[in-house]
Amino acid sequence: MHNLSRRRLLLDTANGLGGIALAAIMHEQGLLAAAKSPLRPTIDPGQPFAARDGHFPARAKNVVMIFCSGACSQIDTFDYKPELIRRHGQPMPGAEKLVTFQGGQGNLTKSPWEFKPRGESGKMVSELVPMLGEMADDMCFLHALTGKTNTHGPGENFMSTGFTLDGFPSMGAWVTWALGTENQNLPAYVAIPDPRGTPQSSVNNWGPGFLPAAFQGTDFNASNPLRNLDRPASVDPATDERTREFLQSMNRRHLERFPGDSELAARISSYELAARMQLSVPEVSDLTTESESTLTMYGANDTENSLKAAYARNCILARRLVEQGVRFVQVFNGAYQTGGEGVSNWDGHKVLAQQYAKHGPVLDQPTAALLSDLKQRGLLEDTLVVWCTEFGRMPTFQAGASGRDHNPEGFTAWLAGAGVKAPFTYGATDEFGYKAIENVTTVYDFHATILHILGLDHERLTYYHNGLDRRLTDVHGHVIKEILA
Query: Which pLDDT score, from 0 to 100, does residue 338 have?
Result: 53
pLDDT confidence tier of residue 273, bands split at 50, 70 and 90: confident
**List of long-range contacts for 339-346, beta carbons under 8 Å, 24+ apart:** 344/70, 344/196, 344/197, 345/68, 345/69, 345/70, 345/194, 345/199, 345/200, 346/68, 346/69, 346/70, 346/71, 346/72, 346/73, 346/389
Q: How much is the pLDDT for 269? A: 72
- The pLDDT value recorded for residue 1 is 46
Which of 80-89, 207-216, 234-243, 429-438 shows the lowest mean pLDDT across its residues?
A: 234-243
Q: Tell me the range of 11-20, 42-51, 292-301 where mean pLDDT is highest.
A: 292-301
pLDDT of residue 339: 47
The mean pLDDT value of the chain amounts to 90
pLDDT at res. 304: 95
Q: Provide mean pLDDT across the span 448-456.
A: 98
Condensed to tens digits (0 to 9), the pLDDT of residues 314-336 reads 999 999 999 999 999 999 999 98
The predicted model gives 408-433 an average pLDDT of 98
pLDDT at 228: 63
The predicted pLDDT at position 310 comes to 96
283: confidence class by pLDDT, cuts 50, 70, 90: confident
Q: Round to whole Å and give the CA distance between 49 and 47.
A: 6
* 351 closest CA partner among 147, 179, 109: 109
> Model confidence over 342-357: pLDDT tens digits?
458 999 998 999 999 9
- Per-residue pLDDT tens digits for 198-244: 999 999 999 999 999 889 999 998 887 766 666 777 888 788 778 77
pTM of the model: 0.88
